[in-house]
A and B are shown apart, each in its own frame.
Chain A
Amino acid sequence: MSTELWVEKYRPRTLDEIIDQEEIVARLKEFVRTKSMPHLLFAGPPGTGKTTAALALAHDLYGENWRENTLELNASDERGIEVIRRRIKEYARTLPIGDVPFKLVILDEADNMTSDAQQALRRTMELYSRTTRFILIANYISKIIEPIQSRCAIFRFQPLPKEAVIERLRWIAQQEGVEVDDEALEAIWEESQGDMRRAINILQSAAAIRKKVDVDTVYEALGKVKPREVREMLEAALKGDILGARDKLRALMYNYGLSGVDVIKLLHREVLSSRSPLRVNGLPLADLLVLIGDANYKIVEGADDEIQLMAVISKIALMAHEKKSK
Chain B
Amino acid sequence: MSSMAPVPWTEKYRPRSLSELVGNEDAKRKFIAWLNAFLKGEAKKKAALLYGPPGSGKTSLVHAVAHQFGWELIELNASDFRSREAIRNRVFGAATMGSLYGKRKIILIDEVDGISTKEDVGGLSALLELIEKSRYPVVLTANDPWDPKLRPLRNAVEMIEFKKLKKREIMQVLQEICKREGIECSRGVLSAIADNAKGDLRAAINDLQTIAMGKKRVDMADLNVLGDRAEQASMFDIVRTVLTARRPEQALAVLRLPGLDYEMLMLWLSENIPYQYQGSYRAIADAYEALSWADIMLARMKRKQIWQLLPYALELMTAGVASARDKPPYRFVKYSFPQKLKLLARTKNKREMFRVVGREVARRLHVSLETLRTDIVPFLRVIYENDPDMAEKIYRSLGLTKKEFEALIS
Chain A residues within CB distance 8 Å of chain B: 1-5, 7-8, 46, 51, 55, 72, 74-77, 108-109, 197-198, 201-202, 204-205, 207-209, 221, 224-227, 240, 242-243, 246, 250, 254-255, 257-259, 262, 265, 298, 301-304, 306-308, 310-311, 314-315, 317-318, 321-322
Give CA–CA (A287, B83) in the complex, Å.
55
Give CA–CA (A301, B373) in the complex, Å.
22
Supposing A4-B397, A311-B292 touch, asked if A221 and B382 sit within 8 A by C-beta, the answer is: yes
Give CA–CA (A202, B391) in the complex, Å.
15
Chain B residues numbered 35-81 whose CB sits less than 8 Å from any CB in chain A: none
Nearest chain A CB to B347's CB is how many angstroms away?
A: 5
Which of B22-30, B100-108, B228-236, B283-291 lies on the face that meets chain A?
A: B283-291
- Contact in complex: A311, B397 (CB < 8 Å): no
Give CA–CA (A222, B91) in the complex, Å.
60
User: Does B156 count as interface, using CB distance less than 8 angstroms?
Assistant: no
**Chain A neighbourhood of B370, CB < 8 A:** 76, 259
**Chain B neighbourhood of A109, CB < 8 A:** 368, 371
User: What per-residue 1/0 map shows which CB atoms of B267-283 lie under 8 Å from chain A?
Assistant: 00010011100000110
- Contact in complex: B365, A7 (CB < 8 Å): yes
- Pick from B303, B339, B379, B385: contact of A250, CB below 8 A: B339
Supposing A254-B344, A318-B282 touch, asked if A205 and B383 sit within 8 A by C-beta, the answer is: yes
Which of B127-135, B162-170, B293-301 lies on the face that meets chain A?
A: B293-301
Chain B residues within CB distance 8 Å of chain A: 266, 270, 273-275, 281-282, 284-285, 287-289, 291-292, 295-296, 298-300, 302-303, 339-340, 343-344, 346-347, 350-351, 354, 359, 362-371, 373-376, 378-383, 385-387, 390-391, 393-394, 396-398
Give CA–CA (A257, B351) in the complex, Å.
7
Give CA–CA (A254, B296) in the complex, Å.
22
Instruction: Taking A208-B383, A311-B288 as given, write out 6 further A-B residue pairs in contact, using a Cβ cutoff of 8 Å, ordered by the A residue number.
Output: A7-B365, A240-B281, A258-B373, A311-B292, A317-B284, A318-B282
**Chain B neighbourhood of A1, CB < 8 A:** 397
Give CA–CA (A205, B385) in the complex, Å.
10
- Contact in complex: A74, B368 (CB < 8 Å): yes
- Contact in complex: A298, B397 (CB < 8 Å): no
Shortest Cβ-Cβ A-B pairs, 3 listed: A208-B387, A302-B299, A76-B368
Nearest chain A CB to B1's CB is how many angstroms away?
A: 58
- Contact in complex: B364, A3 (CB < 8 Å): yes
User: In the complex, which residue of chain B has the Cβ closest to the Cβ of A209?
Assistant: B386
**Chain B neighbourhood of A311, CB < 8 A:** 285, 288-289, 291-292
**Chain B neighbourhood of A227, CB < 8 A:** 378
Supposing A72-B366, A321-B281 touch, asked if A3 and B378 sit within 8 A by C-beta, the answer is: no
Nearest chain B CB to A293's CB is how many angstroms away?
A: 14
Nearest chain A CB to B379's CB is how many angstroms away?
A: 4
Give CA–CA (A2, B344) in the complex, Å.
36
Supposing A76-B369, A77-B362, A298-B292 touch, asked if A202 and B379 sit within 8 A by C-beta, the answer is: yes
- Contact in complex: A257, B266 (CB < 8 Å): no
- Pick from B281, B359, B382, B393: contact of A77, CB below 8 A: B359
Give CA–CA (A210, B67) in the complex, Å.
71
- Pick from B291, B296, B350, B398: contact of A3, CB below 8 A: B398
Supposing A51-B366, A242-B274, A246-B274 touch, asked if A317 and B285 sit within 8 A by C-beta, the answer is: yes
Give CA–CA (A314, B291) in the complex, Å.
12
- Contact in complex: A5, B394 (CB < 8 Å): yes
Nearest chain B CB to A245's CB is how many angstroms away?
A: 9
Complex A-B: 14 CB contacts under 8 Å:
A74-B362, A76-B371, A202-B379, A208-B387, A208-B390, A209-B386, A224-B385, A242-B281, A304-B270, A304-B295, A307-B266, A308-B295, A310-B270, A310-B288
Supposing A3-B398, A304-B266 touch, asked if A315 and B375 sit within 8 A by C-beta, the answer is: no
- Contact in complex: B347, A254 (CB < 8 Å): yes
Supposing A5-B398, A198-B375, A254-B343 touch, asked if A308 and B292 sit within 8 A by C-beta, the answer is: yes
Give CA–CA (A226, B377) in the complex, Å.
11
- Pick from A7, A209, A224, A307: contact of B288, CB below 8 A: A307
- Pick from A74, A202, A318: contact of B281, CB below 8 A: A318
- Contact in complex: A302, B366 (CB < 8 Å): no
- Contact in complex: B369, A225 (CB < 8 Å): no
Give CA–CA (A318, B368) in the complex, Å.
38
- Contact in complex: B270, A307 (CB < 8 Å): yes
- Contact in complex: B303, A301 (CB < 8 Å): yes
Give CA–CA (A254, B391) in the complex, Å.
25
- Contact in complex: A197, B292 (CB < 8 Å): no
Supposing A250-B340, A301-B303 touch, asked if A314 and B284 sit within 8 A by C-beta, the answer is: yes
Supposing A3-B364, A74-B367, A311-B288 touch, asked if A205 and B266 sit within 8 A by C-beta, the answer is: no
Give CA–CA (A176, B97) in the complex, Å.
66
User: In the complex, which residue of chain A has the Cβ closest to the Cβ of B300?
Assistant: A301
User: In the complex, which residue of chain B has the Cβ closest to the Cβ of A76?
Assistant: B368
**Chain B neighbourhood of A262, CB < 8 A:** 373-374
Nearest chain A CB to B402's CB is how many angstroms away?
A: 15
**Chain B neighbourhood of A4, CB < 8 A:** 390, 393-394, 396-397
- Pick from A51, A224, A254: contact of B382, CB below 8 A: A224
- Pick from A55, A209, A257: contact of B387, CB below 8 A: A209
Give CA–CA (A257, B370) in the complex, Å.
10
**Chain A neighbourhood of B266, CB < 8 A:** 304, 307
Give CA–CA (A34, B270) in the complex, Å.
62
Supposing A108-B366, A302-B303 touch, asked if A225 and B292 sit within 8 A by C-beta, the answer is: no
**Chain B neighbourhood of A7, CB < 8 A:** 365, 376
Nearest chain A CB to B117's CB is how many angstroms away?
A: 22
**Chain A neighbourhood of B295, CB < 8 A:** 298, 303-304, 307-308
User: In the complex, which residue of chain B has the Cβ closest to the Cβ of A5?
Assistant: B394
**Chain B neighbourhood of A226, CB < 8 A:** 378
User: In the complex, which residue of chain A has the Cβ closest to the Cβ of B378?
Assistant: A225
Give CA–CA (A1, B400) in the complex, Å.
13
Supposing A250-B340, A250-B343, A318-B282 touch, asked if A307 and B397 sit within 8 A by C-beta, the answer is: no
Nearest chain A CB to B162's CB is how many angstroms away?
A: 29
A1, A72, A75, A315: most-surrounded residue (chain B CB, <10 A): A315
- Contact in complex: A225, B379 (CB < 8 Å): yes
Give CA–CA (A318, B288) in the complex, Å.
12
Give CA–CA (A202, B380) in the complex, Å.
10
Give CA–CA (A8, B380) in the complex, Å.
13
- Contact in complex: B398, A318 (CB < 8 Å): no
B292, B370, B391, B393: most-surrounded residue (chain A CB, <10 A): B292
- Contact in complex: B365, A205 (CB < 8 Å): no
Supposing A3-B364, A303-B299 touch, asked if A314 and B281 sit within 8 A by C-beta, the answer is: yes
**Chain B neighbourhood of A224, CB < 8 A:** 381-382, 385
